[in-house]
A and B are shown apart, each in its own frame.
Chain A
Amino acid sequence: MQGFNVDTSHFLAGAVLVCSFALLYQARLFALLNVFAVQSMMLALAVGWQAHVQQAGHLYITAALALVMKGMIIPGALRRIVQNMKIHRTIETVVSVNLAMLAGVGLTILSIMVVFPIARMAGGLAREDLAFALTIILIGMLVMITRRNAISQIIGFMSLENGLILAATGAKGMPLVVEVSVASSVLIAFFVFGIFIFRIREHFDSVDVDQLSAKRGDVE
Chain B
Amino acid sequence: MTSLAFALILIVPVAGMVLLALISSYRIGAWLNVALSATAFAGSCLLFAVPMQTDTFFLVDSFNIYLVALNTLVGFTTSIFSASYIAHELEQETLTRGYLRFYHALYQAMMTAMSFALLSNNLGLMWVGIEVATLSTVVMVGIYRTAQAIEAAWKYFILGSVGIALAFFGTILLYLAAEQVLGEGAAALTWSLLVNDAAKFDPALLSLAFVFLLAGYGTKVGLAPLHAWLPDAHAEGPTPISAVLSGLLLNVALYAVLRIKMIMAGNAGAIPPGPIMMFMGLSSLIFAAIMLYRRRDIKRLFAYSSIEHMGIITFAFGMGGPLANFAGLLHMTMHSLTKSGIFFAVGHIAQAKRTQKLAGITGLAKSHPVLAWSLGIGVIAIAGVPPFGVFTSEFLVVTTTFVRQPILAGLLALGILIAFGALLMRLQQVLFGEPQGPSHKVSASSLPVLLHMGLVLLAGLWLPQILVDWFQQVARLLG
Contacts and interface: CB of A to CB of B under 8 A. Distances in A.
A180 B128 contact: yes
- Chain B interface residue number, banded: 35 or more
A171 interface: yes
B179 interface: yes
A176 B125 contact: yes
A18 B235 CA distance: 41
Interface in B180-232: 180, 184-186, 188-189, 202, 204-205, 207-208, 231-232
B148 interface: yes
B420 to A, nearest CB: 22
Interface stretch (A19-27, A57-65, A212-220): A212-220
B426 to A, nearest CB: 15
Contacts of B148: 215-217
A160 B165 CA distance: 8
Interface string A183-218: 100010001000110011011100001001101111
B19 interface: no
A172 interface: yes
Given A118-B205, A175-B185, A215-B151, A160 B162 contact: yes
Given A118-B204, A196-B150, A220 B294 contact: yes
The DSSP consensus for interface residues of chain A is: helix
Contacts of B207: 118
Contacts of B296: 218, 220
A60 B72 CA distance: 39
B142 A199 contact: yes
A130 B169 CA distance: 10
16 contacts: A150-B154, A157-B165, A161-B165, A164-B165, A174-B172, A176-B124, A176-B128, A183-B128, A195-B139, A196-B142, A196-B154, A200-B154, A212-B147, A218-B295, A218-B297, A220-B294
Given A130-B176, A218-B232, 7 more contacts: A119-B176, A130-B173, A157-B158, A195-B139, A196-B154, A199-B145, A200-B150
Interface of A: 114-115, 117-119, 121-122, 126, 130, 133-134, 137, 141, 144, 150, 153, 157, 160-161, 164, 167-168, 171-176, 179-180, 183, 187, 191, 195-196, 199-200, 202-204, 209, 212-213, 215-218, 220
